[in-house]
């Protein structure tokens, strides 16, 4: 039987969830379909795992995760109710990811070159919720044993 590491879980999702959880006091879910989870929460969606470089004893792969921030917002789409209420959270998320671009907590390598590659503002999930999506990309070197 082969030996393997669940790289997506161990190096990307678990550490990313921990970073977000420690910065915010919000729930984190993994819902593919919109499910109301309160007045504001994060949703993590793994998108892809792409081989970047194959070496004799390792591989470097880029993992792409969509980080959704969902917040209740009532009424017509307005700057004060639908934009100004979410941008501080997203700007803080961008800084959090930037500050942890090479992430090795307690000297345990998780990823390098982590970055927020794009933000999509202003999507409405329903008349009462606004959705902001951040695309997080990080590289992971997996060493074969």
How far apart CA 63 and CA 10 sit, in angstroms, is 12
C-beta of residue 69 within 8 angstroms of C-beta of residue 134: yes
Task: Give pLDDT, residue 48.
Answer: 98
Instruction: Catalogue the E-assigned strands of the chain.
Output: 27-29, 40-54, 58-72, 112-126, 129-143
The CATH number assigned to the domain with range 7-143 reads: 3.30.2000.10
Q: Write out the chain's pLDDT in tens, 145 residues.
A: 888 889 999 999 999 999 999 999 999 999 999 899 999 999 999 999 999 999 999 999 999 999 999 998 877 766 666 677 788 999 999 999 999 999 999 999 999 999 999 999 866 667 788 899 999 999 999 998 7
The answer, as to whether pTM is greater than 0.85, is: yes
Give CA–CA dist 120/134, Å, rounded: 6
Q: At 14, is the secondary structure helix, strand, or coil?
A: helix
């Amino acid at each position: 039987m082969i030996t393997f590491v669940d790289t997506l879980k161990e190096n990307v999702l678990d550490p990313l969830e921990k970073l977000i959880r420690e910065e915010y006091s919000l729930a984190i879910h993994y819902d593919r379909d919109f499910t109301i989870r309160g007045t504001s929460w994060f949703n993590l969606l793994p998108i892809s795992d792409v081989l970047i470089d194959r070496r004799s004893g390792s591989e470097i792969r880029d993992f792409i995760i969509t980080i959704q921030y969902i917040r209740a917002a009532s009424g017509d789409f307005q700057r004060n109710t639908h934009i100004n209420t979410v941008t501080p959270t997203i700007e803080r998320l961008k800084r959090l990811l930037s500050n942890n671009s090479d992430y090795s907590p307690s000297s345990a390598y998780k990823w390098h070159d982590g970055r927020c590659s794009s933000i999509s503002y202003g999507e409405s999930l329903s008349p009462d919720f606004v959705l902001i999506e951040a695309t997080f990309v990080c590289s992971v070197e997996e060493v074969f044993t």
